[in-house]
Amino acid sequence: MLILILLPVTVSFCVRRRRNRSSTSGRHNGVGPLPPDEAALPSSRGGGVSINFASLGSSFSYQQLLNATKEFRDSNLIKKGQSGDVFKGVLETGVQIVVKRISLESTKNSEAYLTELDFFSRFAHPRIVPFLGKCLEGTSLKFLVYKYMPNRDLPSSLFYKSNSIVDDGLKSLDWITRLKIALGAAEGLSYLHHDCSPSIVHRDVQASSILLDDKFEVRLGSFSKACHQENNGRPRKIARLLSRLSQSSQESVPGSPATATCAYDVFCFGKILLELITGKLGISSCEEPQFKKMLTEILPHISSQEKEPVTNILDHSLLVDEDLLEEVWAMAIVARSCLNPKPSKRPLMRHIVQALENPLRVVREDSSESERFRTTGSSRGSSSSGRVFGSWRQSVSDPVAAGTSSLLSQAEGLGRTSGAMGSSARESSRGASSRRSMKDV
């Protein structure tokens, strides 16, 4: 009787063990589905991230993506990204897609891959690039699938080749479209900073992260570095300690979790605004020495008192009337406020959205309103209407941001803030301030 009971159990155990060996062998060959127990993936930040794969769109087979991209042909390569190569593809249904091919052989790519999976399993918004699905069949290669954006990214669209037979030169986006793009990007970042709890820091805000659909509506992309801002923007003591240790070893990387702040996103967004105003491609992605040089050339022409100087930095391909010039002036004032060397003095993204929705009010408010609603920073307790309209021009004429040399020298001297710091946070340590570079703020 005992033998009859044990026999089925033994057979079942042997069958399961054989299946597991077969599945493991298949995965080592780079094929075969992932087992259910691999749904719990480690976090790139040391914790555990349980990813709900069912919420990550469709599951594509490797063969589907191979056919869609014509075997990942070079002619379909859109760009070589930081975390993987990006290809254009077309599914059998005719739907255009973008496929990111990620090699997990490097730790950096593995972390980026997990970060994107974690992000898209939790968040979706009209200003975020639509995530269509994934292919997780292999072990060394993974594939993430997004909706294709016909106008690609901002650097590709700011200047474009004309299809006209008469004019075969380069065309540039008009001012109305540029303002629309600035507002759309601000709305996307505002969602991350203010509508997600805890706040999400993008950490890779640059022109190439701004994707554009066929109507030049913005969809934010490049979420491989995104992370949470914890504890309501206040630094944890352990984070401060780790930040200082990383500084002393000089192994910290700008944009790492130790410097993940909403204020950092705002600073980078200010660079994008300058790129839209001046038409100078690469401002948002250039290295620190080059960016410093650009600031010395640009900032002296952004005045809170008169608009005419801004014409000296305005993209020469733009044709703007008097009203549009005031909008350019307003955007320039917002940009300079975003570039304030003190993170606590930078505006919140939700206030930037309101300013870009009503740019003329930024420069047309009378002095009484400006004085009435004057604020001293972007603290959570500040008046919304004051920051939106009454204090923009005041923030540009603030002694901290008034002189170009002052801005540059103070930006060089800023201390590295911890990963939990946000737009409303204060500098965590004066002792660390002398070791911070502009690209870390």
Amino acid at 25: S
The one catalytic residue in 204, 265, 315, 440 is: 204
Range of the domain at 201: 171-440
Q: Are residues 136 and 199 in the same domain?
A: no
Q: Can you give the CATH number for the domain in which 114 is found?
A: 3.30.200.20
Rounded mean pLDDT, 115-122: 93
178 within some domain:
yes
Q: For the segment 298-326, what is each residue's pLDDT rounded down to a tens digit?
A: 999 999 889 999 999 999 999 999 889 99
For 385-415, write each residue's pLDDT tens digit.
444 555 676 666 554 344 444 555 444 333 3
Number of domains in the chain: 2
- Indicate if 204 belongs to the active site: yes
Does position 173 have pLDDT exceeding 80, yes or no? yes
Question: 28 exposed, middle or buried (CB, 10 Å; 0-12, 13-18, 19+)?
Answer: exposed
106 falls in which pLDDT band (50, 70, 90)? confident
| pLDDT of 160 | 76
205-225 mean pLDDT: 96
Q: How much is the pLDDT for 69?
A: 98
Q: Residue 54: which pLDDT band, with cuts at 50, 70 and 90?
A: confident
The reply to whether 235 and 140 lie within a common domain is: no
What integer is the mean pLDDT of 234-251? Answer: 39
Do 118 and 196 lie in one domain? The reply is no
End-to-end CA distance of the chain: 74
Q: Which residue has the higher pLDDT, 32 or 366?
A: 366
Buried b (16+ CB within 10 A) or exposed e, 314-345: bbeebebeeebbbbbbbbbbbbbbbbbbbbbb
418: domain CATH number is 1.10.510.10
The pLDDT of 5-25, averaged and rounded, is 49
The encoded tokens of residue 283 equal: 């401002």
Mean pLDDT of 186-193: 98
Shared domain for 209 and 273, answered yes or no, is yes
Residues 139, 182, single domain; the answer is no
* Statement: residue 166 has pLDDT above 70: no
Residue 140 shares a structural domain with residue 217? no
Task: Output 22 or 111, whichever has higher pLDDT.
Answer: 111
